[in-house]
Structure 1
Amino acid sequence: MQEEVKKHTKKIYKTMTNKEHTLGEKSKEIIIEIFIIVFAVTLSIWLHSWSEHRHQQEEVAVFLGNLKNDIKNDIKNIDIEKKGYQNSNKGYEKILALTTLQLDSIYKSKNVVDFPIYSHGQIMSIGNYEGFKSSGKIGYIEDEKLKQKILNYYQIYVPAVNEVNKIYNDFLFKCFDKMIENADKPEEKMYADPKFKKTIEFLVKLGNNNIRVYDQNTKPEAYELIKEIDKELQK
């Protein structure tokens, strides 16, 4: 392109210094050459912008495809965690239902009370999102509705899942601390203790709350985001 501009610039110079042509002829030739230069530069800029835009949208398509897979994995992991909460709560509710006589009977027969332990860790995939965002490419997504849904999912719903899981884990470890503190006492007395029972009751409530966060907030948003991504990829 630079060579073409130089070529036509030289023609303008030659036209201006050509003593054989009249002023009108020179003006006409110069205008034509300027038009050619402007057209060539404009076309070059447009082609470059078009190529860059196409490349950006190809990056967006790859990102959305990877994001869709991440969200599908999020849903699977959420279902696994939900089942873990449900099973743990069943175990805790059995403990809460045990009477003092039943606890005495269990330990006299040298059996033990099964205390469910299920620690909930990081379950949401954020690598692809964080990489695309940190590279400043989120703006490449032209569908404003889709972009806002992605931002809401990763800035509101994903942190919410991680936060409620962390709160649950913190409280679960408080139960372990109470067990350690009462290690010198018979276990049947600890499980019959009203304060310890209240602790377990609260653990069940936290588990149910986290299931609600999964079912009523995060999963519906995840399914809706997958639909929006499919729409964009089909364009």
Structure 2
Amino acid sequence: MTKNKSWLHKAGEIAIEILIIVFAISFSLFLERQREESNDQKLEKDFYSGLTIDLKQDREQLQSDRKFFVNMSHAFDYFKRMSDTTKLNADSINVNYNYLISSSDFVSNSAHYQALKSTGKLSIIENKELLNQIISLYETKIPILISSTRFFNDKKEHGIIAYAESHMRMGKNTNITQVMSDPIAKNYLLTGGYITQIINNYDDALKAVDTVLAKTTKEED
């Protein structure tokens, strides 16, 4: 009987020790989770702050680039209307020709998004709707915009720009009306139709930026 009591006593002590160990491990894991959650919350807040700055810079550039392409569209229309009998205006020619031969490429300020993505920590963003909108902006909207502008710039460089530079004289004795009235030039100028889609892509990107920016600003508060 004494032996049984002794065994039960030892078993009780072992059970208590096991419970203490289990509690210690559980409590340690709890504290670690709390620490990780706290770190993730700080990282999320810092991400929103940085992203807001990036988005404001992107918005400014998007608006500027969009205006540039609107003016470029006007330049294409200007030269498409040109004929041998067009009365020349030096200022109008210079302004429109500069837009015709110039290019613009959007460069996104995506440093904070790319940094968080590279660490595999995008999941720390608790607002999943916002997360999906951020991903859509940087993985869909902006890439489509950049792809469309690069495609158009390449077509323009090897089309109307190359043709104009090899056939046109500028200055007092310019032959610009003859060059731009040529059927080959008119055909190249038809590529200006791409600009409408590019402007639409800028509008889509701007709308997405405004949507995300409104929410990241709110999340910062």
TM-score bucket (shorter structure):
0.7 to 0.9
Count of matched residue pairs: 209
* Alignment partner of 1:84 is 2:68: yes
**Which moved further from structure 2: 49-58 or 85-94?**
85-94
Alpha-carbon distance in 2 for matches of 1:26, 1:132: 53
The structure showing larger relative contact order (alpha-carbon pairs under 8 Å, at least 6 residues apart) is: 2
Give 2:210's aligned residue.
223
Question: Could you report, residue by residue, the CA deviation over 1:125-176 in whole angstroms, capped at 9, with x for unpaired residues?
Answer: 2222222212222232233222222211111001011111112211221211
Deviation at 1:110, TM superposition (A): 8.7
Alpha-carbon distance in 2 for matches of 1:223, 1:178: 40
Give the 3 Å change call, closer, same or farther, for CA 180–94 of structure 1 in structure 2. closer
Map 1:37-56 onto structure 2 (within 5 A). 37-56=21-40
SS at 1:142's partner residue? coil
TM-score (norm 2): 0.82
Give 2:191's aligned residue.
202
Give 1:120's aligned residue.
104
Q: Indicate conservation of the 8 Å contact 2:45/2:220, yes or no.
A: yes
* Alignment partner of 1:148 is 2:137: no
Question: Could you report, residue by residue, the CA deviation over 1:97-117 in whole angstroms, capped at 9, with x for unpaired residues?
Answer: 333112xx53xx999933123
Map 1:1-235 onto structure 2 (within 5 A). 22-102=6-86, 106=88, 113-114=93-94, 115=97, 116=99, 117-173=101-157, 174-183=159-168, 186-203=175-192, 205-215=193-203, 217-234=204-221
Give 1:16's aligned residue.
none
Q: Indicate conservation of the 8 Å contact 2:69/2:195, yes or no.
A: yes
Asked which structure has the greater CA Rg, the reply is 1
**Which moved further from structure 2: 27-36 or 53-62?**
27-36
Q: Indicate conservation of the 8 Å contact 1:61/1:233, yes or no.
A: yes
Alpha-carbon distance in 2 for matches of 1:36, 1:233: 42
Q: Which amino acid is the alignment partner of residue 194 of structure 1?
A: P
Alpha-carbon distance in 2 for matches of 1:56, 1:211: 38
Alpha-carbon distance in 1 for matches of 2:107, 2:35: 38
SS at 2:144's partner residue? helix
RMSD: 2.6
Alpha-carbon distance in 1 for matches of 2:156, 2:32: 58
Give the 3 Å change call, closer, same or farther, for CA 231–183 of structure 1 in structure 2. closer
Alpha-carbon distance in 2 for matches of 1:228, 1:187: 51
Unaligned runs of 5+ in 2: none
